[in-house]
Structure 1
Amino acid sequence: MADEMVELAQRFINSYNISGIPKVEVNGRTSWTVMYALTRALQYELGITSLSDTFGPTTLSTLQSRFGPQIDDLTRHGNVYRIIQSGLYCKGYDGGGIDGTYNGRTADSVAALKSDMGVGGAYPGNGLQPKVFKALLTMDPYVRVGNGTQQVRQIQQWLNGRYVQRREFFICPADGNFSRDVQKALVFALQYEIGMSDDVANGRFGPGTQDGIRTQAMLGLGSADGARQFVHLFQAAMRFNGWDVAFDGVYSGSLLSTVVDFQRFAQLLPTTGTADFRTWASLLVSTGDPSRPGTAADCITEITPARAQALRAAGYTTVGRYLTNANVTNPRNKKIQPGELATIVAGGLSVFPIYQTNGGDPDYFNAQQGATDALAALEAARGHGFRAGTILYFSVDYDAVDEEITSRVVPHFRALADRMAAYGSEYRVGVYAPRNICSRLAKAGLTVASFVSDMSTGYSGNLGFPLPRDWAFDQIATITVGSGTGSIEIDKDVASGRDTGQTQFTPRGPDTALDVPFDMNQRGALATDLVHYIVANGHDDWYRDRTPEECIDKVLAMDALITGLARSFRMRKSLMQAVIFWEYQADFTDEGVDALVAAYFDWEEAHAAWEQNPVGIPPTPPAVIRDDSSTGVAQIFGRTAIKARNHCIRADVIAGTIQDMEDWRARRAVWDRLRNDDDYNVSTVPLIHIESAALKGITTDRLRYSDEEIVAVLTLYNGAGEYGRRARDLYAIFEHYNAALRG
């Protein structure tokens, strides 16, 4: 929503006709662009000639030398006042107008801002100190936002208030959310308590900080803060990682018990409940203590008998291997090799599969690629013989920021998960990625387990984010195991026990009988054949809602999905293409019938709500009751879809929950998806065919149906013999092209 005072701030920025201060869009919305422009305006007013977006040491020192310890009503600099007022409005405070004065409203807002930051005690009064000015010109919030908690905000304010006067400590957000900047502030605080000078403290978890923890901050039951605040900082680290503990500076029995829970969760064994180095490390940095033992590993090198023996001797029980090579020119041969899985199992190890063909390029991640990856990973896993239920870890091997996760990674995995479900949910979806991506995907319900790339300690997606609750493997160090022919470089992983890997395999190998994608260069010839058939047989009826050409385009637009379904269920594409082509023509009355069904379901919803709260008269039912209809691309009834899916679930063709097709709520959910989700609708077609074959007692391999069996299966799709024969004719036209492409 636009804010008129932010608009005034933007107009003030645009009043500068200085080459180093770019014009900003006047839209009433705060952004980094606006804050950067205000920073440049301040630098200009301070006489700094090289303007930049960064409020760095030069800006800070020049501000201090020009105006002293604070800016207030005695400073007397109109444009600096306007910059402050603009920043306050952008932060959501009353700037007192943008009139170039430090008036009472401006002063009150500065005092409120400092209180929200937690620095009101360190910086009393209503003057604006240089570090507060620096914080003002950022997008950092100082009130609780989003999913932020008061428990975290309390600590953020405490950190700011206690350490803001240290030279290298800058005000961190006070919004109740753990983040990269808050993590850095916590490490600075720990370094100050250890006794590091301003020239030494740097906010990084380096050797000096680690030694300081080992010598000064080993805590246990009864420890309490005095001059040093180690218990407070440990409690802060626990809270930041999502553990509910007091923030009182006392190492109580309750804290010890919660620490035991954390140690058990993070596999810091044996659990002691004390704040030892490994526990501090796991709370403060994504790798934790990289020297701690791991029982899992992942590698790009083939596991030979000698290497398997070396890994087992070093205490490893599970190894991650790649399903495929990267999809690039001259890729490194890192995929599972022929016979390797048997070698691994013979060596006493289990295996978890990783899928990565690129993963390090932001542009790789999109819905179309996610759908493509689903089929490629499915077929690779089947080829190697991984059994149903195995978790496949799909790689996101770059530091995606939140916006990229939302716009790229989530759509990629949503399409991937949807396609895996459409193909029968034979395998479960996991992810290899930094912490933030893992947690975001798990929260969205798109993954079941995380393989956390915690070695990338500098990634924004790791720093400031807790270990995901669904973690299965935690990658912490690259090491070499074994010697001679048994030597192998691995990434050492800690295992949570969520995924113990696989030890049994049923390789399927390549299946050349399966259909392949359609050659779009043959679209014209296919269209000619189909239109000729429709016209020659008098099927170009006036009441059809779509032309044959539109139906051809629809079938071919969904070719990737249809091909994947055909390959997954070992079925001819033509069985699906024939009915989708015919049914997509639709009857011009279909929309009217669908409207009646929608009205019926709306009435059921309203009546159910009235039954829960029977006030007034009950909702009047529709004049015409239609509780189901054939709908969507392939014109499927809700009951038909539920019945087919139930059959396929019972037959272990797909995973899912049995539903009652007479339960209107279940039927509505399915009918709505059939009507509005083309992929779901088309994905139901092969399930109907599978059930139809069972009803007809057909046990033939679906790739080798006889003409009679094809007619029988297609007939049941609509229930009429004429329909089956007509659909068989369409099948033959599609199959002419599909068979040629199979070779």
Structure 2
Amino acid sequence: MADEMVQRAQRFINTTYNNGATLGIAKLDENGQTGWPVMYALTRALQYEMGITALSDSFGPTTMSTIGAKYGKLDETTVPSANFCRIIQSALYCKGYDGGEIDGTYNARVKDSVAALHKNMGVSVTYPGSALWPKTAKGLFNMDAYVTVNSGSETVRAIQQWLNGRYVLRKDFYIIPCDGHHSRDVAKSMLFAIQYELGMADGVANGVFGPGTQTGLKSRTVSVSSNSTGVWAQLFTAAMVLNKNSVAFGNFTDAVRQAVTSFQSFCGLSATGAGDFPTWASLLVSYGDQSRKGAACDGVTEITPARATALKAAGYKYLGRYLYNPSSTSLPEKAIQPGELATIKEAGLRCFPIYQTWSRSADYFSTQQGTRDAFEAIDWARYHGFKPGTIIYFAVDYDAMDGEVTDYVIPHFRAITRTISENSGYNVGVYGARNVCQRVVDAGYSSVCMVSDMSSGFSGNLGYPLPSKWSFDQISTITIGSGTGSIEIDNNIASGRDTGQGDFNPGVSFDGLDVDLDKSAYRASMLQDVKSYLTSIGVPETGGDGWTDKDWASLGGISTTEAFDAVVDSDWLFTSLARSLRMRKALIQAPVLWELRKLNPGDFLADAAVQAGIEDDCSTGWGQIFASTAIQARNYCIGEGIINGEGKDYTNADDLKEVWNKLHDDQDYNVRTVAYVLLWNSELFGIDRPDLSGDVHVTEAVLGRYNGTGPDAEQYGRELMGLYHVLENYNALSRA
């Protein structure tokens, strides 16, 4: 919603500073909406009016020191010009305060707003009156809120105001938000506050949980009987509140003791009920007290008998190992090695598997990648012999911003969960920063989480509490053992929510399974052979079935090349399905390519009739499948234990509608269902299921049944059998 006075502020910048050119920025949109672009522009304008030549978006040390040196404070007696005052007035409006008429006058309305700003910041005792001081001016020219927003906590806001009021005069302490939400800035301000109370001088205190801070806190235990009142009790209860513990900010009462005991038990600390050093550490930094020895670890080094002995002697029970290493040169022992799980079992240890390929930037994560990762993880878990019920941890190994979690990570894990739950007996875990873990768990796409708390500087760790369903808390990298038993590990605290696996099935071989098509070698020749074959049976590049090329294209028809490209571009999905179901990839590809090429206006009209509620069902999507057929095929596969899920009723209108919409809108779901229909077809014929042998009689029979029964279906099977052979030829070349 546009604000007239913010719009006037934007117009003031544009008209006064040559549409932003004087300030080195683009012209502001005069939309009446506060945001970083207008705050940056106002900051640059302030710098320009003070004679700073190197203009910057940042209200940094130079801007602050210039205000202090030139004016001391900003009020009606020191503001040097009308435009300078208009900049302050504009900033007030952008922060939600009355700035007067943006008339260049530091008048009573401006004074009242500055006083209100200081009160909201919690610094009105330190800075009484109506003058802006360098640090409060810095707080004015940013997007921090000083009132609760988005359901912020009033208790958290009181803590934020208290911190500002108590420490604002310290050199390196700057005004923090008072919005009722914990954050990176608030977390760092707590460390500064503790360092100041420990007696560290300005310039020594740095907001880092270093050796000096740790040593000081070891003698600052708070409890019902020790330091129960005063600043240390306030700091400790503040830390408890910021970690989402329900206590009152202030004294260390018996109620606080009970909450501390619960917090300690939750974090895997000794439940003393006192604010001792390990508890301080867990409240202040994500990794907590790194001298703790966990019962779990993970690493990229093979567990040999000597290393297993060393780990067990050091108290480790649960070992995290990687299912797969995509690199053939880097970290040669990262993936589980042959015989390693037997070594772990023999030592009486347990293993939990981790799946990670890249996963170190937002653009890695997507619905498609999540599906592919899940299928690959299933493949490798079976290869190594992990039993059903195993939790596989999928990694988010970078500092994902909250918006990236929403846009990329959550859809990625939604796809992982769907694939894992439908195609295996495994469960999903997430590895990542606290915010990533909690959000994926809250979304229902992970049962537990492994927390990368060593990355204490991650924005997803700073200001976030330990996730509610943490299983392993990764806090330090250490070396265990010596000689041949020496091994570097990531030391993890274990919650007991996951104890890994101590026994394993015989591994499932990859022999004979399809692999991704070698597109660089075979794509062009494969397309040519597909086109030649289809042309030989009366299916040209475009048109056919009585349609001219022109009419075919205008009505949405798909050419042979377009159908081929769609299938080959989704080769990863066909490969994954074929490997999971232990059948030939070409068998799934053939009907999909054929049905895509054969799409015609009648198919589009049938879809429209179902969408309009005129018809209940029709064939739809890439594989042109009826919802009733899909339900029966999926029910068969569920009953046979081929896939997991709940059966549906193909005579029920609601079930038909739900499945039809998935078939129409979700081509991943549609292609999966093609494979399930082919398996069901073998049951209808009472013949063996399609398998890796590629038996021609089974293959032709199930392809023909895809189009029903009778002579037309038999011809369909014969025609698709030829297409199958073309596709299988190149899949076999890629497997070789």
- Superposition TM-score, scaled by structure 2 size: 0.89
SS state at 2:611 partner: helix
| 1:445 corresponds to | 444
Q: 1:520 to 1:587 in 2, by over 3 A?
A: same
Which residue identity lines up with residue 462 of structure 1 in the other structure?
N
Deviation at 1:563, TM superposition (A): 1.9
Deviation at 1:103, TM superposition (A): 3.0
* C-alpha distance in structure 1 between counterparts of 2:652 and 2:253, whole Å: 53
* C-alpha distance in structure 1 between counterparts of 2:415 and 2:668, whole Å: 10
1:629 touches 1:637 (CA, 8 Å); kept in 2? yes
Q: 1:723 to 1:240 in 2, by over 3 A?
A: farther
Q: Which among 533, 554, 577 is matched to residue 565 of structure 1? A: 577
Deviation at 1:468, TM superposition (A): 1.7
Give the 5 Å matches for 1:509-524: 509-514=509-514, 516-517=516-517, 519-521=522-524, 522-524=526-528
| 1:286 corresponds to | 286
* C-alpha distance in structure 2 between counterparts of 1:75 and 1:419, whole Å: 64
1:478 touches 1:492 (CA, 8 Å); kept in 2? yes
Deviation at 1:289, TM superposition (A): 0.5
1:577 touches 1:731 (CA, 8 Å); kept in 2? no
Q: Which moved more, 1:154-163 or 1:67-76?
A: 67-76
SS state at 1:703 partner: coil
2:300 touches 2:331 (CA, 8 Å); kept in 1? no
**Mapped pair 1:218 → 2:230:** no
Q: 1:728 to 1:444 in 2, by over 3 A?
A: farther
Which residue identity lines up with residue 237 of structure 1 in the other structure?
A
Q: 1:250 to 1:650 in 2, by over 3 A?
A: farther
* C-alpha distance in structure 2 between counterparts of 1:318 and 1:430, whole Å: 15
Q: Which moved more, 1:561-570 or 1:526-535?
A: 526-535
**Mapped pair 1:681 → 2:692:** no
Q: 1:126 to 1:507 in 2, by over 3 A?
A: same
1:260 touches 1:271 (CA, 8 Å); kept in 2? yes
| 2:265 corresponds to | 264
Give the 5 Å matches for 1:79-478: 79-146=83-150, 148-220=152-224, 224-225=228-229, 228-247=230-249, 249-268=250-269, 270-327=270-327, 332-361=332-361, 364-420=364-420, 424-478=423-477
| 1:577 corresponds to | 589
Which residue identity lines up with residue 645 of structure 1 in the other structure?
R
* C-alpha distance in structure 1 between counterparts of 2:114 and 2:181, whole Å: 23
* C-alpha distance in structure 2 between counterparts of 1:661 and 1:106, whole Å: 70
* C-alpha distance in structure 2 between counterparts of 1:312 and 1:408, whole Å: 39
Q: Which among 514, 525, 546 is matched to residue 557 of structure 2? A: 546
SS state at 2:706 partner: helix
Deviation at 1:573, TM superposition (A): 2.2
Q: Which moved more, 1:497-506 or 1:335-344?
A: 497-506
1:599-645 deviation digits (Å, cap 9, x = unpaired)? 44xxxxxxxxxxxxxxxxxxxxxxx5x33333222222333333333
1:233-280 deviation digits (Å, cap 9, x = unpaired)? 222222222222222x23333333322222222111x32222221111
Deviation at 1:351, TM superposition (A): 1.0
1:571-592 deviation digits (Å, cap 9, x = unpaired)? 2223322322343334534444
Deviation at 1:58, TM superposition (A): 3.3
**5+ long unaligned stretches in structure 1:** 601-623
1:20 touches 1:40 (CA, 8 Å); kept in 2? no
1:349 touches 1:503 (CA, 8 Å); kept in 2? yes
Deviation at 1:402, TM superposition (A): 3.1
| 1:16 corresponds to | 17
**Mapped pair 1:734 → 2:724:** yes
Deviation at 1:183, TM superposition (A): 0.6
| 2:502 corresponds to | 503
Q: Figure out how many residues of one structure are paired with residues of the other and give that number.
A: 713
2:513 touches 2:579 (CA, 8 Å); kept in 1? no
* C-alpha distance in structure 2 between counterparts of 1:236 and 1:88, whole Å: 30
Deviation at 1:403, TM superposition (A): 4.1
Which residue identity lines up with residue 642 of structure 1 in the other structure?
I
Q: 1:467 to 1:13 in 2, by over 3 A?
A: same
* C-alpha distance in structure 2 between counterparts of 1:530 and 1:573, whole Å: 19
* C-alpha distance in structure 1 between counterparts of 2:304 and 2:629, whole Å: 51
Q: 1:656 to 1:260 in 2, by over 3 A?
A: farther
Deviation at 1:313, TM superposition (A): 0.8
1:91-132 deviation digits (Å, cap 9, x = unpaired)? 233332433222343333333333332333443333322211
* C-alpha distance in structure 2 between counterparts of 1:443 and 1:145, whole Å: 22
SS state at 1:185 partner: helix
1:220 touches 1:275 (CA, 8 Å); kept in 2? no
Deviation at 1:738, TM superposition (A): 1.9
Give the 5 Å matches for 1:36-47: 36-47=40-51
* C-alpha distance in structure 1 between counterparts of 2:536 and 2:706, whole Å: 24
1:311-343 deviation digits (Å, cap 9, x = unpaired)? 001100011112222437655442211111111
Deviation at 1:408, TM superposition (A): 4.5
Which residue identity lines up with residue 60 of structure 1 in the other structure?
M
Q: Which among 629, 635, 647 is matched to residue 658 of structure 1? A: 647
* C-alpha distance in structure 2 between counterparts of 1:244 and 1:250, whole Å: 14
RMSD: 3.0
Deviation at 1:548, TM superposition (A): 4.7
* C-alpha distance in structure 2 between counterparts of 1:727 and 1:458, whole Å: 60
Q: 1:241 to 1:716 in 2, by over 3 A?
A: farther
SS state at 2:219 partner: helix
Q: 1:638 to 1:126 in 2, by over 3 A?
A: farther
Q: Which among 54, 57, 61 is matched to residue 57 of structure 1? A: 61
* C-alpha distance in structure 2 between counterparts of 1:727 and 1:323, whole Å: 40
SS state at 2:156 partner: helix
Deviation at 1:362, TM superposition (A): 5.3
Which residue identity lines up with residue 728 of structure 2 in the other structure?
N
* C-alpha distance in structure 1 between counterparts of 2:539 and 2:172, whole Å: 80
1:222 touches 1:252 (CA, 8 Å); kept in 2? no
Q: 1:193 to 1:331 in 2, by over 3 A?
A: closer
SS state at 2:537 partner: helix
Q: 1:531 to 1:496 in 2, by over 3 A?
A: farther
Q: Which among 678, 697, 704 is matched to residue 708 of structure 1? A: 697
1:221 touches 1:274 (CA, 8 Å); kept in 2? no
1:65-110 deviation digits (Å, cap 9, x = unpaired)? 3222443466353222122122223323333243322234333333
| 2:478 corresponds to | 479
Deviation at 1:306, TM superposition (A): 0.8
SS state at 2:490 partner: strand
Which residue identity lines up with residue 588 of structure 1 in the other structure?
P
Which residue identity lines up with residue 635 of structure 2 in the other structure?
N
* C-alpha distance in structure 1 between counterparts of 2:111 and 2:233, whole Å: 36
**Mapped pair 1:588 → 2:575:** no
* C-alpha distance in structure 2 between counterparts of 1:644 and 1:122, whole Å: 74
| 1:607 corresponds to | none
* C-alpha distance in structure 2 between counterparts of 1:428 and 1:563, whole Å: 22
SS state at 2:321 partner: strand
Aligned-residue sequence identity (percent) comes to: 50
* C-alpha distance in structure 2 between counterparts of 1:449 and 1:68, whole Å: 54
* C-alpha distance in structure 1 between counterparts of 2:355 and 2:2, whole Å: 44
| 1:619 corresponds to | none
Q: 1:459 to 1:515 in 2, by over 3 A?
A: closer
Which residue identity lines up with residue 143 of structure 2 in the other structure?
M
